[in-house]
Amino acid sequence: MIAPPSAGAPPRVLNLFGYSGGSTLACAAGGASVVHVDGARAAIAQARRNAQLSRLDQAEVRWLCDDTMSYLRRAVRRGEVFDGVVADPPAFGRGGQGKKRGEWRIERDLPEMCSLLAQLLSPSPALLLLSCHDARWPAPRLASHLAPCLPPPQPGEGGAAPGAARLATGSMTLEAHAPGGKDLAMGCFVRWSPP
């Protein structure tokens, strides 16, 4: 469970490229208020259906079919604040049909995305998770882009780099359980959390 920022308010979590909603539902089940953003209407519909099947259709989730970068720029202008961010960007993507949507290219857009996230995070965030499924983006490369988002070290942490002691990186693997099966590499992740 994500710890609330105060006794009376649930933590606010932003889930970018939310797809079918697994991270959104995990955060909502833990008591968070979630803003779920995805550019494809079909993904939003599936995420809502998954919330219903998980008996979380009454959870505090705001479902937005929107271009991620457009949403982030507006959120910064509005002065929104989030206690946690989950982002799972593709290497390349376009929003759904209908309204004109932006085109996402990780090479071009990830640095700006991280810069915008740094402006949206609360001073004492609970979670920052970035994952990627492109082999050209190993964990160290993702971590280098995530660095601008990390909060500064707290008193008593010495001269460590911002958030260094709380940064976990790793590979995501779909494990084969059948005899003779092979594990399937699914990408990597970078996760920051408070001590």
Active site (catalytic) residues:
132
Asked if 133 and 186 count as a contact pair (C-beta separation under 8 A), the reply is yes
Helix, strand, coil shares, percent, the chain, to 5: 30, 25, 40
Residue 63, strand partner residues: 36
Q: Which helix (H) or strand (E) holds 52?
A: helix 41-53
- Angstrom CA distances, 156 to 53, 163, 173, 195, stand at 45, 13, 36, 12
Cα gap 193→195, rounded to integer Å: 7
Q: How far apart are CA 34 and CA 10, in angstroms?
A: 10
> Helix, strand, or coil here: 65?
strand
Residue 2 amino acid letter: I
